Amino acid sequence: MIKIFLDANVIFSAAYSLSEGSAKILETGGRGKLYLISSRLAVKEAERNLREKGSDEQLDNFYRIFEDVNIDLVKVDRGLARTEFGDLVGEKDAPILAAAIRSGAKFLVTLDKKHFLNKKVAEANLPINVVTPGEFIEKYLR
């Protein structure tokens, strides 16, 4: 089973639109075909953003995700993460990258082009593949 780490924006996107790639990944994980991992920090960020930018229906979708889908949550030392990865992805996103790597996931699935889906990260020789939901679906769920 493929282990993937979900960034906050993927969780947000899945709750925001049930027909997009992020939702398909969570649905596939809900059927036991993927091992889904995230962090408390990412889940809190997704929930906060849905409260600010989403509708009540989308917030309900978010809560339903966690009723229907098993997502293991990993902890990370934010200070250490910022020291290790702050220069690579920025201090705000360093804990996400650290949690993804420490989780043992093969993939970090994200929509964050600015901080994760860039040349600097691609060339960093990380022990994890950073991909978009669409790339993951195209290459690994077909």
Q: What is the CATH number of the domain that holds 11?
A: 3.40.50.1010
Q: Is the dihedral of CA 142, 34, 109, 56 positive or negative?
A: positive
pLDDT band, residue 32 (cuts 50/70/90): confident
Instruction: Using the predicted structure, report yes or no on whether residue 139 has a pLDDT greater than 80.
Output: yes
The rounded mean pLDDT for the chain is 95
Q: What is the number of structural domains in the chain?
A: 1
**What is the percentage of the chain residues whose pLDDT exceeds 90?**
92
pLDDT band, residue 26 (cuts 50/70/90): very high
Inter-residue contact 131 to 116 (CB < 8 Å): no
pLDDT band, residue 40 (cuts 50/70/90): very high
pLDDT of residue 141: 82
Q: What distances in angstroms separate CA 120 from CA 21, 39, 83, 125, 138, one per listed residue?
A: 25, 23, 17, 10, 23
Domain of 44 in residue numbering reads as: 2-140
pLDDT of residue 104: 97
Mean pLDDT computed over 43-47: 97
Instruction: Using the predicted structure, report yes or no on whether residue 142 has a pLDDT greater than 90.
Output: no
Q: What tens digit of pLDDT does each residue of 57-105 get?
A: 999 999 999 999 999 999 999 999 999 999 999 999 999 999 999 999 9
Give the DSSP H or E segment for 64: helix 56-68
Q: Among residues 77, 75, 80, 134, which one has the least CA distance to residue 107?
A: 134
